[in-house]
Structure 1
Amino acid sequence: MSKLFIKNHQYNVIKKQAEFIQNALRNVADRSVLETVRYSALTNIVEAFPDLTEEQQQMLEQISAFETAYDFQGYLGELESYLESYPPITPKQIEKLFPKNKKLKMPDLQSIDLRFVTYLSWVDIAANRLFIVYPFEGQFSGIEGKITPTNKKGYCLFCNRHHELAFFLVKTKPSVPSPDNYAAIGQYVCLDNQVCNQSITDTGSLEKFILSVRK
């Protein structure tokens, strides 16, 4: 099998369910309970993949038989070779997404392992600006907004995990005409986008947010 079929957020689902099983193995002695845990974990994994081939599903189902941390680590390492990378993007493409920003600070694309990226993001600390680039509906979408650290932990809109948060405020066109001719939409998101990309297991909230600010 050589086809790449696992996206970053799906890989995170597998990691999360692997942790779920391992935690049960450490703390539960009842084999029937353990089998229920394994079944639940595998169901969650398979449901994250809408179009699995029989061979791909058989590969994922191997997780049900593992007993040791070494087994799980080896399995996750093997699956990395099937990760579908974030689409290639150039600095020039990024610049075109933010035409009004003449002093755009660019991310160091060479230093990023795009296999583990669901959305590309970086912060211009000097300007307190957060930039997000996401491959949506066959093209890249760029979002820029003000970022304000909250110095507290909570649940991120994008990954729905408990991390250090920042308030992300994006100007957008108002649904009802206003004197300022703009509205603003704000949400709490992870302050560290790398942590968020390592945690996100579903792209629904991220895509809904992108649609809300693209209007």
Structure 2
Amino acid sequence: MNVLIAPFIYNHQFNYIRNQVRHLQGTKKTVADPKILEAVQMSVHHNIMQKFVELDEEQKQLLGSVASLQTSEQLDSYITTISQYRCSFPELSSKQLQKTFAKVKKLKLPNIAEVDWLQTTYLGWSDIGQNKMYIVYPWQERIVGIEGRITPSQKGVCFLCNRHEQLGLFTAISKQRPANASPDYYKALGNYMCLDSTACNHNITDVTILERFLSEIVSKKE
């Protein structure tokens, strides 16, 4: 495979591909019917390709090779190979994060040195002492950040990654205001999400809900 292919697989896409390959590996271990195996393999191939809006021929060849792999070892190698073409989250500095949350007094920053940017879809961290959570995401050609209150809850399904994890109720105030809104107007939006953002980033396979949430919180003028 041409090693000159530029990175094009984002973290959530890689997670999705990995899950699809694991599903295929599990099927090959438990199912003997060749017709069923072929159907599942074609379904996995289709699902992976549908995860991308545009692909050039080399990218199609790289991802599409999953349709011809037969052994678990070959599928493991496939994951190892495509991992070389992952896009990194923008490597933000502490100064950039402070600028993103310029209005927050005594902002507690995450340990940037411990962030695995390749395995990051959104950067999230908590300030337990203040019951605050912060989320940073590259969206619409800019870096946006939202802050909100986090209230620890019980285990359940995260609205972002759709996995069963330890949750917190994240509540943020929308910066969008209707026309002719009163000075006292505010709108709070809340969702249950992973308390552990690292685990969430390891699980997330789609950014549609995250971007929809951001569109309801972030000011269009920002």
TM-score by length of 1: 0.93
Distance (whole Å) between structure 2 residues aligned to residue 64 and residue 164 of structure 1: 36
Structure 2 segments unaligned to the other structure (5+ residues): none
Classify 1:85/1:149 alpha carbon distance in 2 versus 1 (closer, same or farther; 3 Å). Answer: same
Give SS of 1:126's match: helix
2:199 to 185, 195, 198: 195
TM-score by length of 2: 0.90
Q: Note the C-alpha offset of 1:169.
A: 0.4
Distance (whole Å) between structure 1 residues aligned to residue 100 and residue 47 of structure 2: 35
Contact 2:69 2:75 in 1 (8 A): yes
Q: Note the C-alpha offset of 1:32.
A: 0.4
The alignment status of 1:18 with 2:21, answered yes or no, reads yes
In structure 1, the partner of 2:117 is: 114
Give SS of 1:208's match: helix
Give SS of 2:129's match: coil
1:159-193 CA distances to partner (integer Å, 9 max, x unpaired)?
Answer: 22222221100012454735633221101111211
Distance (whole Å) between structure 1 residues aligned to residue 195 and residue 107 of structure 2: 20
Q: Which ranges of 4 or more aligned residues in structure 1 deviate by more than 4 Å?
A: none
Identity of aligned residues (%): 40
In structure 2, the partner of 1:77 is: 80
In structure 1, the partner of 2:43 is: 40
**Code of the aligned partner of 1:9:** H
Distance (whole Å) between structure 2 residues aligned to residue 164 and residue 32 of structure 1: 40
Distance (whole Å) between structure 2 residues aligned to residue 152 and residue 8 of structure 1: 24
Give SS of 2:35's match: helix
In structure 2, the partner of 1:90 is: 93
1:45-80 CA distances to partner (integer Å, 9 max, x unpaired)?
Answer: 001111111111111122223333332222212222
Give SS of 1:79's match: helix
The alignment status of 1:138 with 2:138, answered yes or no, reads no
**Code of the aligned partner of 1:209:** F
1:121-147 CA distances to partner (integer Å, 9 max, x unpaired)?
Answer: 111111111100000011100000001
In structure 2, the partner of 1:31 is: 34
Distance (whole Å) between structure 2 residues aligned to residue 77 and residue 151 of structure 1: 35
1:46-57, aligned counterparts within 5 Å? 46-57=49-60
**Code of the aligned partner of 1:5:** F
1:151-190, aligned counterparts within 5 Å? 151-154=154-157, 156-173=158-175, 174-175=177-178, 177=181, 180-190=184-194
Contact 2:9 2:85 in 1 (8 A): yes
Distance (whole Å) between structure 1 residues aligned to residue 156 and residue 111 of structure 2: 27
Give SS of 1:74's match: helix
